[in-house]
Amino acid sequence: MELPIFKYNETFLSRAELERLLREKNFNAIDINMAIDAYEMADTVHEFQKRPDGTPYFWHPSRVARIVIEELNISDTSMICAAFLHDVLEDSHVLTAEILEYNFGAYTSYLVAMLTKDIKAEGLLREIVEKEYVERLQNASDDAKLLKLCDRLDTFRCLEFNVKKNPIKYVMETTKHYFPLAEGSTDKRMHYVLKELQKASNKFLG
């Protein structure tokens, strides 16, 4: 019997897969439990959200975490937790940076804060928010920049499934504002993600 072939946007990292991956990479029990806690917190926050393609929103941060763990081979638990949690402050009326720091440490909280912006802003205010957000990322740690590029990479890989109303605009904005985050970096992981972004955009644009 042939196994079903899933489209990229229909894939996600399950809790069991997460635990298996971390055990294979020899993470200790404390770090595994912390990553699982981040997984479950993000899953709860995004529980009733859907992306425009109809898939559960949580699948997006779970895939960002998979990129961090599998493709970039990152073993920093703070980075993995932040990958799962990168949108929770935007989508929760309860969570704060202080709560994230208490549960996952100061660096995870910092990374999530750097990736958080006012998604409800509209019109001219939205342009101002976007400009300030990009400037903040430019002055953030390389880890924050890398996570942002991973976030964009997952969405790039989903563009053919109509996750954005204006995908061409999204590609152009990413090229203009976010590709420069990798410029001047000697981090091979940053350049890997940049190449994958270019590959994904070429696949979409043709």
CB atoms within 10 A of CB 125: 11
Catalytic residue among 53, 90, 118, 130: 90
Residue 43 a catalytic site member:
no
Residue 31 a catalytic site member:
no
* Exposure b/e, 161-180, CB count within 10 A at least 16 = b: bebbeebeebbeebeebbee
Catalytic residue among 17, 76, 91, 160: 91
Name the strand (E) or helix (H) holding 205: helix 188-205
Residue 137 burial by Cβ neighbours in a 10 Å radius (0-12, 13-18, 19+): buried
What is the rounded CA–CA span in Å between residue 148 and residue 153?
9
Query: What residues act catalytically?
Result: 90-91
